[in-house]
Amino acid sequence: MTRFRLSALPALSPLTYSALLTLTLALLYNGPLWQLILDQSYPSDLKRWGFTLAFFSFIYAVLQLFMGTLSWRQIIKPLAIFLILSSSSISYLMQSYGIVIDKGMVQNLFQTDVAEAGELLSSGLILHFLLTGLAPALVFTLIPIKKVTPVRMLALQSANLFACLALIGLNAGLLYKDYSSLFRNHREVRNLAVPSNFLYYGGRYLAGAYDPEDRTFEVLGSDARHISSPLLQVGTTPKSDLMVVVVGETARADHFSLNGYSRDTNPELEQRNVISFTQVESCGTATAVSLPCMFSFLGRDRFDDSKALFQSNVLDVMSSAKIDALWRDNNSGCKGVCERIPSEEPKQFVTAADCKGDECFDQAMLNNLDQFLASGNGPKILLLHQKGSHGPAYYKRVPDSFQRYTPVCESSELQTCSADDIVNAYDNTILYTDHFLASVIDYLKTKQANYNTAMLYMSDHGESLGENNVYLHGMPWLLAPDAQKHVPMVFWSSEGFRSSRGIDQTCLQNLKDKAVSQDNLPHSLLGLMQVSTSVYQPELDLFASCRQSESQLALQPVSADQAG
């Protein structure tokens, strides 16, 4: 029997090796990109295939321009293996879930925990990785690379540079109008091109992730103070304030029956005298962006995750006002939001009864809350970060008793399930969130003898459920469908909470269809928790217009001139 030897494969020069690598990358991992190009409107099939071939030559030339520059014998093979393996994984996610790659998606991937990553691991991914990852990586590992003198190598690289630039220039000169129209109407082209998409956005993410350790932290709201209500009668002993903020996960506003959804997904909240704000827009389309943004004072237009890490958020300001805070997390962490306040992870509050296998349900976050209340007599804010409707394994998020809508998709490979089964599984998570929020309200009702109580729920972002072959979330903001940006927001308050602030419930009800966003959250929380500070902007406080003027004026900080 003839033994296989490395010499059985022809030895290639480093430049030829890089050219073969570029061809493999362009052809094997860019299915969504080529589908987009082929799906454009053309006057004839000849034009369709002609432009597709020209665009392929353009993509090839751009990639080879860089690959050729890096085609030194010592580095091109390790680079090839890295690009093939990473491109295989990325292309599977793009083809299976319809996602596109930008900085936010890369950030989402980097910050995904082991449990979340495990849910994406499927037989489809393994097969895809074996065929398009390990197999070609093995071939490129076995191909011998010739030794080339430095002088000849520089000559070959110069020729490669000239040829690539010429091909790019030829495309631009002959097809300028076609390219201009394509890039103007389909900004996602650069987000679809593998491997340049994850290399570019991965580089941007990593560049922002490693800030200098001595970077100055910007303190906001150092003047913050908690004020007593001016509406209390003289001689009345005021109750302390207790507010629960529930940070939802992946909930869509249009799947809440409170907002008109045809299914009764909110049967318990319907009985709790809540106000559901129907037109709320998220700051981002992924937790890694939306969560820090919704508690930041930067707002969506100015938000930068690196800047937000080095600036006080609304929880810091409330802490300065001597408000006791606790963050309980049943998700993948608070993304820096709770870094300077007490926080608890699941192992600190869950019991065996709260879990099914490795999945612990949101209801566990209500365990032993009285310990937090016993920590002091001042105002308190409790923040509960849900697992909520996190995909793709929606069916795992709810106890068996909440599997009302059946059959459900019981796979992380959503593209293999019917649309109805996916929606059934997702709607069950909304039904369970409804129960969880109702339980929060019921808990707060038991504390009304000693506290003015309120609950505010807002989801971090929405979710795509297969519409237009797009699943999950995390798409670039400008390209994301409304389903990923339109989020639910629900408010409940006790009579004592409203009367102590002069909040008119009917007025709030009339605001429920007003267009608002997560930019309103920090200032609304400051107002609701009676925090007077210079960073408070009443025009962004959703509840300000429904407060009695005397109560609202009390929130304005006292200037130095007024104090003197």
Chain centre distance of CA 343: 21
| Same domain membership, residue 245 and residue 159 | no
pLDDT of 375 reads 83
Cα atoms in the Cβ-side hemisphere of radius 13 Å centred on 117: 8
- Inter-CA distances, 61 with 27, 56, 126, 160, Å: 13, 8, 31, 9
| Same domain membership, residue 257 and residue 188 | no
Q: Are strands 380-385 and 464-465 parallel, antiparallel or unpaired?
A: unpaired
| Same domain membership, residue 477 and residue 384 | yes
Sign of the alpha-carbon dihedral angle for 294, 387, 275, 240: negative
Q: How far apart are CA 429 and CA 27, in angstroms?
A: 39
For 480-492, give the secondary structure using H, E and C.
CCHHHCEEEEEEE
Task: Tell me the one-letter amino acid at 51.
Answer: F
SS3 410: coil
Phi, psi torsion values for 388, nearest 5 degrees: 55, -120
Q: Is residue 562 part of a domain?
A: no
| Same domain membership, residue 530 and residue 401 | yes
Q: How far separated are the first and last CA of the chain, in Å rounded?
A: 99
Nearest to 362 by CA among 269, 286, 253, 435: 435
| Same domain membership, residue 180 and residue 293 | no
| Same domain membership, residue 342 and residue 427 | yes
- Inter-CA distances, 530 with 225, 241, 508, Å: 8, 9, 18
| Same domain membership, residue 256 and residue 199 | no
Sign of the alpha-carbon dihedral angle for 312, 317, 322, 323: negative
| Same domain membership, residue 261 and residue 114 | no
Q: What is the CATH number of the domain that holds 321?
A: 3.40.720.10
The answer to whether the CB of 99 falls within 8 A of the CB of 472 is: yes
Sign of the alpha-carbon dihedral angle for 503, 504, 506, 510: negative
Q: Is residue 196 part of a domain?
A: yes
Cross-strand partners of 381: 243, 325
pLDDT of 188 reads 85
The answer to whether the CB of 243 falls within 8 A of the CB of 496 is: no
Q: How far apart are CA 134 and CA 130, in angstroms?
A: 5
Q: Is residue 561 part of a domain?
A: no
Q: Are strands 343-344 and 225-226 parallel, antiparallel or unpaired?
A: unpaired
Q: Is residue 361 part of a domain?
A: yes
Q: Is residue 46 part of a domain?
A: yes
Q: Is residue 404 part of a domain?
A: yes
CA angle (261, 525, 315) in 5-degree steps: 120
For 165-231, give the secondary structure using H, E and C.
HHHHHHHHHHCHHHHHHHHHHCCCHHHHCCCHHHHHHHHHHHHHHCCCCCCCCECCCCCCEECCCCC
Q: Taking the C-alpha atoms of 71, 131, 464 and 336 in order, what is their torsion angle to the nearest 10 degrees?
A: -60
For 228-277, give the secondary structure using H, E and C.
CCCCCCCCCCCCEEEEEEEEECCCCHHHCHHHCCCCCCCCCHHHCCCEEE
Q: Is residue 430 part of a domain?
A: yes
**Total of domains in the chain:** 2
| Same domain membership, residue 29 and residue 148 | yes
Token pair recorded at residue 299 = 């707002």
Q: Is residue 217 part of a domain?
A: no
pLDDT of 28 reads 96
Q: How far apart are CA 393 and CA 396, in angstroms?
A: 6
| Same domain membership, residue 438 and residue 370 | yes
The answer to whether the CB of 471 falls within 8 A of the CB of 392 is: yes
For the chain of 564 residues, list the mean pLDDT of each consecutive stretch of 10. Answer: 58 94 96 92 92 95 94 92 96 89 82 77 90 96 92 92 95 89 85 92 77 79 88 67 98 98 98 98 95 97 90 97 97 94 95 92 96 90 98 95 97 94 98 99 96 98 95 91 98 95 95 97 97 96 89 65 39
| Same domain membership, residue 370 and residue 250 | yes
pLDDT of 563 reads 38
Range of the domain at 491: 225-231+239-556
Q: Taking the C-alpha atoms of 141, 146, 152 and 154 in order, what is their torsion angle to the nearest 10 degrees?
A: 10
Q: How far apart are CA 284 and CA 447, in angstroms?
A: 35
SS3 382: strand
| Same domain membership, residue 393 and residue 305 | yes
pLDDT of 363 reads 97
